[in-house]
Amino acid sequence: MELQVVEHRLTDGEALELEPAPRVVYDVNADGADYSTGSRAIKGPKHVLSFELTPKASGSALLGASLALPTDEQRLIRCDRVDFPPGGVAYLHTHQGPGIRVLLHGSIRIETGGRSHDYGPFEAWFEPGPEPVFAAGSADEPTAFVRCMVLPAHLKGQRSIRYVRDEDADKPKPQRYTVFVDELLPEDP
């Protein structure tokens, strides 16, 4: 199974029909998202990010990633937005499942697996979940990204983040989270 994100920028009067798939459609301008499994019509003007579970990533995806998930465990799909004030960081942490992130504004540096990468608006990256990650937002402007993760079902309504170092767990966390979707996936998406 693949998790992919596809960006669609529709002009006034333009329409798009999305094939049936478990997906979260994030509306960039309205700052909201919803989940569906059936076919989906989108009418412009609209700027959306469609996070989709598919058998294979499409060539038009901003990013696609293969997911190796246990078959004996129910999963949920979560879409949320993370906002950092200028200079905000997310201390070294992991998540309990994989996901794709797309930067909305600002800039962000992601350090993981001995590598560091800087992302700008509408660039996407994948985090597998168990690999520790440090994130630093822009020093001089607010930073925000939207993400879609596939998590164990028992995390419905609960945070998935785990801090790697005990001393970081009690530090102030300047980032704000807005959860849009937290839905159980069908048994066989």
Beta strand extents in 95-173 (DSSP E only):
99-105, 108-112, 115-119, 124-127, 133-137, 143-152, 162-163
189 or 82, which is more confident? 82
Cα–Cα distance between 133 and 122 in angstroms, integer? 20
Report DSSP letters for 142-156, one per residue: -EEEEEEEEEEGGGT
Cα–Cα distance between 74 and 69 in angstroms, integer? 10
Examine the domain organization and report whether 36 and 103 are in the same domain.
Answer: no
Within-domain flag for 124? yes
Within-domain flag for 49? yes
Examine the domain organization and report whether 82 and 157 are in the same domain.
Answer: yes
Q: Which domain holds residue 33?
A: 2-56
Cα–Cα distance between 109 and 85 in angstroms, integer? 14
Alpha-carbon dihedral sign for residues 99, 136, 92, 85: negative
Q: Is the pLDDT of residue 189 over 60?
A: no
Tell me the mean pLDDT in the region 33-39.
97
Q: Is the pLDDT of residue 130 over 80?
A: yes
Q: Is the pLDDT of residue 188 over 80?
A: no
Examine the domain organization and report whether 79 and 160 are in the same domain.
Answer: yes
Examine the domain organization and report whether 43 and 85 are in the same domain.
Answer: no
Band the pLDDT of 3: cuts 50, 70, 90. Answer: very high
pLDDT the model gives residue 186? 87
When divided into structural domains, the chain yields a total of 2
Examine the domain organization and report whether 42 and 84 are in the same domain.
Answer: no
pLDDT the model gives residue 165? 94
Within-domain flag for 61? no
Within-domain flag for 68? no
Tell me the mean pLDDT in the region 73-89.
97
Tell me the mean pLDDT in the region 3-12.
98
